[in-house]
Amino acid sequence: MALKANFIMEKHPLNKYVREDVLPHILCPGCGIGTVINAVARALKNLEVPPEDVVVVSGIGCSGRASGYFNTDSVHTTHGRALPLATAIKITKPHMKVIVIAGDGDLFAIGGNHFIHSARRNIDLTVIAVNNFNYGMTGGQLGPTTPSHAVTSTSKQGNFEHPFNLVHLAAAAGAVYVARWTTFHVNLLTKSIEKAISKRGFSFIDVISQCPTYFDRYNRLGDAVSALKLFQKRSVIKNGYDPALAIADPFDKIICGEFVNKERPEYSERLQNIIKERMREVVKNE
């Protein structure tokens, strides 16, 4: 007598926040962007934020694909313009949790000026930079965070430019929450994203990520597993450390932790208060 097995189709544990219909993903094998998507979805689940109250915005590049995997409102916008669009959403829909996921090139090269002023204004956004030290989608070129002497497709003899220290830049521009983790620190990254989403104001997390297809291959860092082992070996956690001294160099040291956590008046709330005050004046004068 043949035995019939009873199969139970299990739902994806994060299907409330992640679109199952677009899986499997199109990212390169071993890419760290999937880890970031996972951490954001888990943070939203842990905070029990309704999906209808979330907007995920991304720019152009490998990380620009991230917004399409979320079962929330999402926008895949133009190169370097994720923050202006996210600002518009936050101002018009102040109750929404607006999360920006973008690459180091998108946020700090063509989008660098937008980043500085978004932090200065202290707009209530959670900004996550997937920092893989190069332009991964277009061929592994030199980017604003490429470590000194690193090899890329456009710096075959090594990089002689000074890279940006993203956490220092964010802190100096006025961000109220600044942290850095690697894709090895999944649980710590998830907890940090929870804090960033809950924080009122401009929050920034620098996520050091592997890029096996280009950066890691050009610099002979091995596959994704080797990169994660390297992150584990090179990382030093220093909460409260001076972000100006918090280097992120996979050939030397990666200083991780929460560097800034402070309070400052938030932009969209102040703007709404000004609008309400002026409306009251108009009504009073009629």
Residue with tokens 């850095």, as numbered in its chain: 180
Average pLDDT over residues 78-102: 95
Q: Is 123 helix (H, G, I), strand (E, B) or coil?
A: coil
Residue with tokens 């521009």, as numbered in its chain: 173
Per-residue pLDDT of 173-191, as tens digits, reads 999 999 999 999 999 999 9
Predicted TM-score (pTM) of the model is 0.92
Q: CA-CA distances (angstroms) from residue 92 to 6, 71, 207, 234?
A: 50, 21, 29, 43
Q: Is 23 helix (H, G, I), strand (E, B) or coil?
A: coil
Per-residue pLDDT of 193-242, as tens digits, reads 999 999 999 999 999 999 999 999 999 999 999 999 999 999 999 999 99
CB 200, CB 185: distance < 8 Å: no
**Amino acid 8: pLDDT:** 57
Extended beta strands in 146-253, E state = 177-182, 203-208, 235-237
Which residue has better confidence, 277 or 27? Answer: 27
CATH tag, 27-285: 3.40.50.970
